[in-house]
Structure 1
Amino acid sequence: MGVSGVGKSTIGQLLADEMNLPFFDGDNYHSKHNVEKMSSGESLNDDDRHGWLSTLNQLIKEQLKNNSCILVCSALKNKYRELLSDGILNEIEWIYLFGDFDTIYNRINKRKNHFMPSELLKSQFDTLEKPTNAITCNIDNSPKEIIENIKKELMKKSEFGLLGLGVMGKSLCINLSNNGFKISMYNRHVDGVEEHVALKFKKKHTELSSALPFDNLEEFVNSIQKPRKIMFMVNAGKTIDAVIENILPYLSEGDIIIDGGNSNYNSTKERFEYLKSKNIHFIGAGVSGGEEGALKGPSIMPSGSREAYKSVQPFLESIASHDRNGLPCCAYIGPEGSGHFVKMIHNGIEYVEMQLLAEVFSIFKATRKTPDEIAEVLEIWKKDVDSYLLNITIDILRKKENNDWLINNILDKAGNKGTGNWATIATAELGIPSTLIASSLFARYTSSFKEDRIKANISFGNNDSSNIKIDLIDLLNAYQFARIINHYQGFKLIEEASKFHKWNLNLSEIARIWTSGCIIKSDLMAVLVEVFKKSKSILINESIKQQLQVLRPSANKLVSQCILNEIAIPCLSESVNFLNTYTTADSSANLIQAQRDYFGAHTYQRTDDDSGKFYHTNWKN
C-alpha cells in the first residue's frame, strides 16, 4: 500500500515472483466510472472506492481458499484497510511503501499509459493515514533492498509474545524457547531503572538466541504473527489495566491477551467483557509452580472463550508440567474469570497446607526436637503423605547457616499477596464454610503483630509445654485428617461457585492438573482425581469416609493435648471443629434463629411443619 507512484506494482510483482505467489494489481479492478473520473483529474470519493474495495476483499478471500497472494492497493485511509480486511483481518500482512512528495511526483510524470495524473498526488498525500501495524519500506532503497527487507521482516515474526520480565516472566520465556517456540519479549523502559531488560536477558541465556527483545511496545506488538498471542506477567490490579490501555492501539481484531498473573476473578470477568467489546480475546490463566514451575513446567488454569483457548492451547500445553500419564497439567477451565477463581482457591488450599505444616513444626518444637530431628520424622511421613510442600519443608529445616539452622533466624511474620484474602471473601459471599482458609489467613495476620505478641507472651504465655507427650502416630493422623478436611472445603467452594456462576467446572480435571507442576501437588491430589470422577464430594466417598473415621480419634486427642498445653494450632483444631459441626444432625442453630426472630422478627421454620412455612413469635408474652 501507499500513494500512487510509490512503486507498489513493481515491488508487489517482484515479491510475488520471489515468494511464488499470485499477483494482483488493485488498479486493474477499478470500475469504468472510477477510471474515467481519475483520468479527468478528479479524485475518487469514498462511495466510488467502496465497491472497488469490496471487490478486492472478495478476491483475497477466494485466493485464501487455496494459498495466499500479493495484492497492491493504495488503501490510504484506515477505513479502506478495514474494508479490505473484513472477515480476514488476521490473514493480512500490510507492507507500507513511503517516500517524499517530489520523488514520487517525478516518478508519476515518467509513467506511460496510466490513468492517474500527477496533479492528484497531493490529494493522495492529504488523504493518507499512515498504518500502525505494517512493515514499512522507504522507496529511496533499491527494489532489491526493499524485497530483502520485506522478506527479513516477514521471517522475523514470532509466534508468541510475553510481556513483563519479572522472575516468572523470564522463566516462562526460557520454557517457551526450550519448547521450540519463537517468541517476542517485552519489558517497559524506565530511564535509569529498567533499561534494555529484554535485550540483557536474551544475552545471558543461549536458549533465547531466536527470541526478539523489545522495550518499545509498538515494535513488540508488530513483531508477532497475527492473530497475536500475548501473555502478560505483570502485577495484578491497576497495572494490568494500564498495560491493556497502553497496548490496545497496536492490537488488531482477533488478537489474544493472556493474563498469567494472580488477578482477582471479578476483575478478569470485567476485562473479558471490556475487551470483547473491542473484538479482542482475553484469557485469565492461573499459573502455579513458582519460579521453578514456570521454568520446568507449571500447572496452568486458563479460562475465557473456548475458541480463543484453542488458539493458545499448543503453547500453554507445551510449557505445562505433565501428570503421571503424560498429559499436560493445563486444561480449559471454563468461561470468563473461572480460571483465576480456581487459581485463587488453589492458593487458599495452599495457605492451609502451609499453616498445617507450620503447626506440626510448632508441636515438634514444643517437644524440644531440633530442626534436623523434625526433618527426619517428616522424611518418614513421605510414604504416607507425600507432597511438594512437605518436601520443601524438609529442605528448609535442614538448611544451616553459620553452624545454626537458618529457620531459627527467620522472623516469624508471614506475608500474603491477596489471594488468601480474596478466597476468604469469596467463601463468605457464597455462604460456603471454608473455615480452614479463613483460619490460615487470620493466622498470618496474627503473626504480623509481632510486638503485640511479645507483650502478650509476658502476660499470658508462661505455660511450660516442655513435658507434653505427643504420640507421633497421633500427630501424623491429625495432619492427614486436617488435610482431607482442607481439600474437601476447597473443592466444595469451587463446586458451589461453579453452580452460582454457571461455569460447569470439572472437579476431577482440576484435581488432575494439580497433580504436577503446582505448589499443592500431592499423593492425596492424585487420589482425588478418581474420587471426583464418581462424586462431587470427598466426604461421601466410602474410602475417604473410612479413613476419616480411623484418623478422627487421633485428631481429637492431639488437638486436646495442644489446647491444654497452650500450643497454637488454629487449622488443626478447626478441622476437628468443622467435622464436629458438619456431622451434628441437630445443632444449636435453632437457638440462634429464635434469637434473630426475637430482636429482628426474622422468622423461623418449625420441625413439626414440613410445608416450609415461616413463623414469627411474640416472645415477650
Structure 2
Amino acid sequence: MNNTRTLKKVIFIMGVSGCGKSTIGKLLSEGLKIPFFDGDDFHPESNVAKMSSGQALNDDDRQGWLETLNDLGKKQLTKDSCVIVCSALKQKYRDILSRNIQSETKWVHLSGSFEQIFERVNSRPNHFMPSELLKSQFDILENPEDALQIDISLTPEHIIKTIKQKLMNTSEFGLFGLGVMGKSLCRNLANNGFKISMFNRHVDGVEEDVAKNFKAEYSELSQAEAFDDISTFVNSLQQPRRIMLMVNAGKTIDYVIEDLLPHLSEKDILIDGGNSNYVKTKERCDYLKTKGIHFIGAGVSGGEEGALKGPSIMPSGDFEAYNNVKVFLEKISAKDQNGLPCCTYVGPEGSGHFIKMVHNGIEYVEMQLLAEVSTILENLGQNPDDIANTLENWKDTASSYLLEITTAIFRKKEGDDWLVNKILDKAGNKGTGNWTTIASAQLGVPSTLIASALFSRYISFYKEERIHLNKNFKTIISSEMNVTTNDVLEAYQFARIINHYQGFKLIAEASNKFSWNLNLSEISRIWTNGCIIRSTLMEDLVEVFKNTTNILTNPQLIDLVNQYKPSAKKVVSQCILNDITTPALGEAVQFFNGITTKYTSANIIQAQRDYFGAHTYQRLDDTSGKSHHTNWN
C-alpha cells in the first residue's frame, strides 16, 4: 500500500488575534514548502463588516466560515499538506475545522498574556479588528489539550524550529509490544495515515531487532519509527504522549508501567489494550493518577485479522484522556452498518475491560453451543461436509462470525480426511471465562451458561480420565434420534437468546453496582462488527436496548423464545436419552425454566437454612418484610 498520505497534514496555527499566527504560518509553510492559507481571508463580507464596526462574532457567524476552512483542508489533503491560520478559540470550533480529517489535523497554539498581545494588536496598522475586541477572545478561549503549545515570547526562528522538531519529526502514537495483536494494530494505524513509533524489548539471543525487522517487512511501515530502547521510544512521541500497551495481562503490565514512568511527563496517556482484569485496571487508573498520568483500559476484540482490518474497541477511564486518543482508536476500529466506528467511550475505571470480559464469556457460550450443535448433527448421521452445509443454510436466520468460521472449519480437509477429526479434544482458555464466572458470583448474577461453557472446557481437559471412565460405563447408542435439523436450529437460537440475556444482565448489574452508567445499546452497537461475537442478533439488540435493559421483555424476542422453546426441550431431551453431552443447550432450558417460574423451590432451601443455622425466613402471608424463625424440633 502506498503510504505517502502519512506525510499529508493540515497544520492549524491557532490563538487569539495578534498572537502572530499569520507570521508563523507563512514562515512554517515556506520552511516545509507547503501552501499557506490565512483564515481571515475566508470570512464572508458580513463577518468583516461586523468586526469592523466593533461587534464580536457569535457562533452562528462563525459556523459557515469554519465549514469553509474545513472544506479547504479536505481539498488540500488530496494534493499535499498545508498550513491554515485560524483563531479556533473554542473546542467546538476545532471540532468543525477537523471534521472527517481528525487524523490528518495538527494543532499549534500560539499563547501569550493579554498584555503582550494587546500591545501587539495596537501596533498593527490597518487591521479590521479593534483591540477592544481582544478581551472577548480571551474570555471565550478554551485551551486545547491536544495542541503543541508555543510561547510567543520566543523568536520566530525558534518557534519554527520547535514546530518542525516536535510536530513534524515526532510520532503521533506509540505501540508497546509487538506480538500478533500489536503488529496488526501497528499496520492498521499506519494504513490509516498515522505516524507511529513501535517498541519491542531486546533480549539477547531471543528477541533482537524485532521492531526494526517488522518495519522492514511491510511497506506501509516505511514512515514508522522502530525502537528497542524505552527512552528513545518515549522521546520520539509528541506530547501529550499516547502509548498503547499490547503485552500480556497481569504482572507484565505493572512491570511495563514502572519501566515507562521515569520517561513520561504529566498528562501523558497509557492505553492497556490487553485482556486485563477490570479490578486491576481500576487500581492502575488510581495509581497513575497520583503520577499525573492518564490510564485507559481498552478491550480489543477481533483477533489478528480484526486488529489489522478493524477491531471492536471498548475504552474506559478518564473521559478527557479518551478525547485525546479517540481519533486514533475510532479511525482504526471496524465500522457498523451506518459507517460509525465500533469504538465508543464505555465509562469510567475498568468498565471497558469488564465488558470485554463479558464479551469473552458470551463468546465461550457461542462457541460451546456450536460445538454441541455439531455433535448433534454428527449423531444424525452427517459428515463434516454435511454439517458445513447445514450450518451454511442457517446463515439466513442465525448469521454470525462464529457460525461462519465453524462452517469453514468443517469444510477443511487434510489429505483424504477432515482436519477437525484429527484435532485433540482438549479445549484451552486464557482466563477471561474464569474471571466472568467469578465476577458473576461476586455480583450475584446467574450467568449459568458462561459457567457451563467454562466447565465444559475443564471437563475436556481430563482426556485420560474420560477415556478410562468411558470403559466403565455403558453409553446408549440409538439408531435414530427423533429430531430434525430445524429442531436443532431452533434449539440453538433459543440458547443464543438466553446467552445474550445473561451476558447483558451481568453488564447491567455491574453498571448499577459500580455506578458506571453503561449504555447497553451502544455496547451492542460496537459489537456488531469487528468483534468475535458479531451477529445479526447483536444488530437487533442495538434497537432492543434503546427501550429496555432486559431483552426477555421485548415483544419480538418473547415471540421467538416461545416459538423456539418446544424445539429446545425436544432436542435436549433426545440428547439426554441418547447420552449426547449438551451442557449449554441443557442449561439454557433449565435456566429459562428457573427465571420464568413464579414460585420456585427456594422456600425449602430457606427452611433448611433456618433449621440448621437459624438463618430466618420471610413469609408469603406477611408483607412487612419481617424475618421469622421456627423451632423445627
TM-score range, shorter chain: 0.7 to 0.9
Q: How does 1:239-278 map to 2 (within 5 A)?
A: 239-278=252-291
Counterpart in 2 of 1:286? 299
Structure 2 residue matching 1:177: 3-state secondary structure: helix
Distance 1:492 1:16, change over 3 A: closer
Counterpart in 1 of 2:183? 170
Counterpart in 1 of 2:528? 515
Distance 1:208 1:611, change over 3 A: same
Aligned amino acid, residue 113 of structure 2 = E
* Structure 1: gaps (5+ residues): 1-14, 22-58, 67-86, 95-143
- Give CA deviations for 1:506-552 in whole Å, capped at 9, x if unaligned: 00000000000000000000000000001110001111011101111
Distance 1:563 1:90, change over 3 A: same
CA contact (8 A) 1:89 1:253 kept: no
1:504 aligns with 2:517: yes
- Once the two structures are overlaid, the 10-residue window that deviates more, 487-496 or 454-463, is 454-463
CA contact (8 A) 1:198 1:213 kept: yes
Aligned amino acid, residue 563 of structure 1 = I
Counterpart in 1 of 2:508? 495
1:265 & 1:224 partners in 2: Cα distance?
Answer: 28
2:284 & 2:557 partners in 1: Cα distance?
Answer: 40
Cα deviation for residue 467 of structure 1 reads 2.6
1:531 aligns with 2:544: yes
Q: In the alignment, which of 396, 400, 406 is matched to residue 409 of structure 2? A: 396
CA contact (8 A) 1:172 1:294 kept: yes
Q: How does 1:339-350 map to 2 (within 5 A)?
A: 339-350=352-363
Structure 2 residue matching 1:543: 3-state secondary structure: helix
Counterpart in 1 of 2:556? 543
Aligned amino acid, residue 229 of structure 1 = R
2:207 & 2:393 partners in 1: Cα distance?
Answer: 47
Cα deviation for residue 463 of structure 1 reads 2.1
* Structure 2: gaps (5+ residues): 1-23, 31-109, 118-143, 152-156
- Give CA deviations for 1:380-403 in whole Å, capped at 9, x if unaligned: 000110000000000000000011
1:149 & 1:260 partners in 2: Cα distance?
Answer: 32
Structure 1 residue matching 2:590: 3-state secondary structure: helix
Counterpart in 2 of 1:139? none
Aligned amino acid, residue 454 of structure 1 = I
2:593 & 2:392 partners in 1: Cα distance?
Answer: 31
1:382 & 1:572 partners in 2: Cα distance?
Answer: 19
1:216 aligns with 2:229: yes
1:160 & 1:93 partners in 2: Cα distance?
Answer: 21
1:150 & 1:515 partners in 2: Cα distance?
Answer: 41
Counterpart in 2 of 1:323? 336
1:422 aligns with 2:442: no
Counterpart in 2 of 1:297? 310
1:404 & 1:93 partners in 2: Cα distance?
Answer: 68
TM-score, normalized by length of structure 1? 0.77
CA contact (8 A) 1:368 1:466 kept: no
CA contact (8 A) 2:315 2:346 kept: yes
Structure 2 residue matching 1:300: 3-state secondary structure: strand
Cα deviation for residue 368 of structure 1 reads 2.6
Counterpart in 2 of 1:557? 570
Distance 1:573 1:293, change over 3 A: same
Aligned amino acid, residue 404 of structure 2 = N
Distance 1:294 1:88, change over 3 A: closer
Q: In the alignment, which of 227, 244, 248 is matched to residue 231 of structure 1? A: 244
Cα deviation for residue 487 of structure 1 reads 0.2
Counterpart in 2 of 1:485? 498
Counterpart in 2 of 1:56? none
Aligned amino acid, residue 492 of structure 1 = K
Counterpart in 1 of 2:597? 584
Structure 1 residue matching 2:305: 3-state secondary structure: helix
1:156 & 1:471 partners in 2: Cα distance?
Answer: 65
- Give CA deviations for 1:572-605 in whole Å, capped at 9, x if unaligned: 0000000111111111100000000011111000
Q: For the aligned residues, what is the CA RMSD?
A: 2.5
CA contact (8 A) 1:367 1:466 kept: no
CA contact (8 A) 1:366 1:465 kept: no
Counterpart in 2 of 1:62? 113
2:164 & 2:398 partners in 1: Cα distance?
Answer: 57
Distance 1:64 1:513, change over 3 A: farther
- Give CA deviations for 1:447-488 in whole Å, capped at 9, x if unaligned: 000000001111124321443232111100000000000000
Distance 1:209 1:454, change over 3 A: same
Structure 1 residue matching 2:113: 3-state secondary structure: helix
1:455 & 1:65 partners in 2: Cα distance?
Answer: 87
Distance 1:166 1:65, change over 3 A: farther
1:221 & 1:63 partners in 2: Cα distance?
Answer: 34
Structure 2 residue matching 1:536: 3-state secondary structure: coil
Query: Identity percentage over the alignment?
Result: 64
Cα deviation for residue 155 of structure 1 reads 2.9
Cα deviation for residue 272 of structure 1 reads 0.3
CA contact (8 A) 2:111 2:150 kept: no
- Give CA deviations for 1:215-238 in whole Å, capped at 9, x if unaligned: 000000000000000000000000
Distance 1:92 1:452, change over 3 A: same
Q: How does 1:403-414 map to 2 (within 5 A)?
A: 403-414=416-427
CA contact (8 A) 1:371 1:397 kept: yes
Q: In the alignment, which of 466, 471, 478 is matched to residue 484 of structure 2? A: 471
Aligned amino acid, residue 457 of structure 1 = N
Aligned amino acid, residue 243 of structure 2 = I
Aligned amino acid, residue 269 of structure 2 = I
2:598 & 2:26 partners in 1: Cα distance?
Answer: 82
1:335 & 1:279 partners in 2: Cα distance?
Answer: 17
Cα deviation for residue 148 of structure 1 reads 8.6
2:522 & 2:375 partners in 1: Cα distance?
Answer: 35
CA contact (8 A) 2:171 2:195 kept: yes
1:570 aligns with 2:621: no
Counterpart in 1 of 2:217? 204
Aligned amino acid, residue 247 of structure 1 = L
Distance 1:157 1:458, change over 3 A: same
1:378 & 1:555 partners in 2: Cα distance?
Answer: 17
2:627 & 2:250 partners in 1: Cα distance?
Answer: 44
CA contact (8 A) 1:348 1:423 kept: yes
Distance 1:523 1:266, change over 3 A: same
TM-score, normalized by length of structure 2? 0.76
Structure 2 residue matching 1:533: 3-state secondary structure: coil
